[in-house]
Amino acid sequence: MTAIGLKNHVIIISPIIQTVGRDSWLSVIVSLFFILLWIPLLFFIHKKTKQEHLNRWMQKYTGKGLGSIIFFIVILYFTLLAGVTLRETITWVNITFLPKTPFFLLAVCFAIICWMLAGTSLRTLSIVNIFLLFFIIILGFFVALANIQYKNFSLLLPFLEHGFRPILKGTVYQCSGMVELMLLLFLQHKAETPIRFRHFVIASIILTLLTVGPLIGAVIEFGPVEASKQRFPPYEEWGLASLGNFIEHVDFLSIYQWLSGAFIRIALLLLLIREYLPFKHKQKWYLLIILAAITAITLLPISDFQFTEILSRIILPFTVWFFLGLSVFLGLLAAFFERKGWCRNNDV
């Protein structure tokens, strides 16, 4: 909810509204249908791998060389995802709250804090997440209820204003977040009990609701045209919130929500990278090199307009195909080899 939820709740909102407009929430519903068709493949892989470490399981069938290359690519992509998250977070902080603070200083400080958490354990990260997520949820309900007075549900009409094609086009953005459910497979060797099919389904429904909420909120509070012009629509919704007639400007509470989500997301990605690094000793220090790469992505000398264009046209769509392709590859390995009990080192 926290790691993937940040992407679904914040990062993809602007691209999907710009692409689909008024019917963007319908793209999210259609995406759920596609993901529910994909989840059985994830569950199949989980059952066949028997909660084994994915890299070690795959190397039994592909050999150490090919397996290492594939997971090197996976590590690179996790690094890219963490870099994109850090860039979006620091850009938002720089634009809204700390415009005179050096971009480099913000990026380095936040990245080091995430590295420190990633250097602990999944249990520690989970405990931290429990405390952070509780207040994230409370604040989410608060801003939704506080803005009821500004909501005009008639702005959702007419449905299918431009036909069904823009809705299908917008599903790629929602799916780019939903396919990250595959991260559960990368963590399966840490789970004390097997992951059930219902866990995948419940997680997909929750992530769908996390997108639908701010998406509909942006459309009915600002209108589809104004919402499509906003860089961070969920934050703009905080700008409307107030407590009665005497307490306004409570948008500072959004700092907690966003930074908590980014903190857990980046730390989890770094932890996964550490888990799948081929080096068994001093992994925390090798992780510093990854951290430097993540910070470098954040500090790329390109404008925010160029970055959002790259994000919406390349990174988000490619994420869908990356995780989809990887899941199909692992599914084929499980189907053809695990069923026969075949192993590269077997003499039978």
Query: pLDDT at position 337, please?
Result: 74
pTM of the entire predicted model: 0.93
More confident residue, 225 or 345: 225
Query: pLDDT at position 342, please?
Result: 52
Count of domains observed in the chain: 1
User: Is 347 domain-assigned?
Assistant: no
pLDDT band at 345 (very low <50, low <70, confident <90, very high): very low
Q: Which of 271, 304, 315, 218 is nearest to 7 (CA)?
A: 315
Query: pLDDT at position 346, please?
Result: 44
Q: Does 136 score more than 90 pLDDT?
A: yes
Rg (CA), the chain: 21
Query: pLDDT at position 347, please?
Result: 41
Mean pLDDT for 120-148 is 92
User: Is 218 domain-assigned?
Assistant: yes
Query: pLDDT at position 19, please?
Result: 92
Buried b (16+ CB within 10 A) or exposed e, 177-192: bbbbbbbbbbbbbeee
Q: Does 182 score more than 90 pLDDT?
A: yes
User: Is 346 domain-assigned?
Assistant: no
Which single residue is written with the structure tokens 């909501």? 151
More confident residue, 231 or 283: 231
- Using one digit for the tens of pLDDT, what is the confidence trace for 88-128? 999 999 988 899 999 999 999 999 999 999 988 899 999 99
Query: pLDDT at position 326, please?
Result: 94
- Using one digit for the tens of pLDDT, what is the confidence trace for 187-213? 999 888 889 999 999 999 999 999 999
- Using one digit for the tens of pLDDT, what is the confidence trace for 258-282? 999 999 999 999 999 988 887 777 7
Question: What domain range is 105 assigned to?
Answer: 3-336
- Give percent above pLDDT 70 in the chain: 97
CATH number at residue 316: 1.20.1740.10
Find the helix or strand (DSSP H, E) in which 257 lies: helix 253-276
Q: Does 216 score more than 90 pLDDT?
A: yes
pLDDT band at 340 (very low <50, low <70, confident <90, very high): low
d(CA 150, CA 10): 20
Buried b (16+ CB within 10 A) or exposed e, 287-315: beebbeebbebbbeeeeeeebbeebbeeb
Q: Which of 150, 145, 139, 173 is nearest to 25 (CA)?
A: 173
3-state helix, strand, coil in the chain (%, to 5): 80, 0, 20
| Single-letter code of the amino acid located at 209 | L
The two tokens of residue 247 are 């307490």
Name residues whose C-beta falls within 8 Å of residue 55's C-beta, 6 or more positions apart in sequence: 67, 68, 71, 276
User: Is 348 domain-assigned?
Assistant: no
Q: Does 157 score more than 90 pLDDT?
A: no
Q: Does 55 score more than 90 pLDDT?
A: no
User: Is 345 domain-assigned?
Assistant: no
Cis, bond preceding 278 (omega within 30 deg of 0): no
Q: Does 144 score more than 80 pLDDT?
A: yes
| Single-letter code of the amino acid located at 238 | W
pLDDT band at 341 (very low <50, low <70, confident <90, very high): low
Query: pLDDT at position 284, please?
Result: 72
- Using one digit for the tens of pLDDT, what is the confidence trace for 25-39? 999 999 999 999 999
